Amino acid sequence: MLLEVVRSKLRTKRYSLRTEQAYVGWIRRFVEANAWRHPRKLGGVEVEAFLSALAVQGHVSASTQNQALSALLFLYREVLEVELPWMQTIVRAKKQRRLPTVLSVDEVRRLLAALDGRHWLIASLLYGTGMRLMECLRLRVKDVDFSRKEILVRNGKGGKDRRTMLPLSLMDPLRREVERVRALHEQDVSAGYGTTPLPDALERKYPGAGRDFGWQFMFPALQRSVDPRTGREHRHHVDDAVMARALKRAREQAGITKLLGAHTLRHSFATHLLESGYDIRTIQELLGHKDISTTQIYTHVLNRGGQGVRSPLDA
């Protein structure tokens, strides 16, 4: 019952499905760790002990511990309406600052050459625009503006919209993809389906908008699936796990030893723009970073040796 109330509150506040799953998972683990006692009978002491155990016994990262803390704060503040005292004794997981993995231009070329079809197109968009994987997969047909040669990224990290460039080399492949989506959508409509899940309250405000072609996902899944929130059958976007497997196969085929994922292409996008002399604030806008300090990490991975200093050995 408690977890159902938590889910309901999360959906009322329009949290994403992934956040809902993560929060519910942490709350279940917290209750389990305290012998299934109701959280109302627990408090700051138990929360501190649980979070400290994650760091000390579980050796979790700082971001994982922060996610668990956010889930428990949501439980007490938003669901139980209990304000926990400020927790001073939590053992915090040490936050490590790691440099991102960046591919060379040649490695990017080899990786893309090992992909084909929609996998190639999605990876090319990630590298060519700097989008995050889920931002790319959640693109709607109407968000790709061929006339202005730009892509509108909606509801990015932090709930912000932004615009990024549409690579000229991808104009024709994307047009062909639009036509493929159109044919698939027409098949769904003729079969009695054809609606797509809409963000926020748009479905209530515009009841027929979900059937509009412009709202269809740019990269729809091959099969329709049931929305876990509404119970309705839709054609959702491609699963991110599918793309992860495709990149892994391509990395092995291309003979790249660096461990990489979809986000590596975003890191490579930013680094290669900096290497080409583009202004860091322009790159900040393209990436959608709130703080310039987040973008500045790419200045430390430029292909210029130790901050552009020439080694005396090479002299």
Catalytic positions? 132, 157, 263, 266, 289, 298
* 3 state SS for the chain: CHHHHHHHHHHHCCCCHHHHHHHHHHHHHHHHHCCCCCHHHCCHHHHHHHHHHHHHCCCCCHHHHHHHHHHHHHHHHHHCCCCCCCCCCCCCCCCCCCCCCCCCHHHHHHHHHCCCHHHHHHHHHHHHHCCCHHHHHCCEHHHEECCCCEEEECCCHHHCCEEEECCHHHHHHHHHHHHHHHHHHHHHHHCCCCCCCCCCCHHHHCCCHHHCHHHCECCECCCCEECCCCCCEECCECCHHHHHHHHHHHHHHHCCCCCCCHHHHHHHHHHHHHHCCCCHHHHHHHHCCCCHHHHHHHHHCCCCCECCECCHHHC
Angstrom distance (rounded) from CA 240 to CA 253: 20
**DSSP 8-state class, residue 78:** I
- Which residue, 58, 74, 68, is CA-closest to 30? 68
Q: Which residues pair with 198 in a beta bridge?
A: none
- Residues 196, 237 contacting (CB under 8 angstroms): no
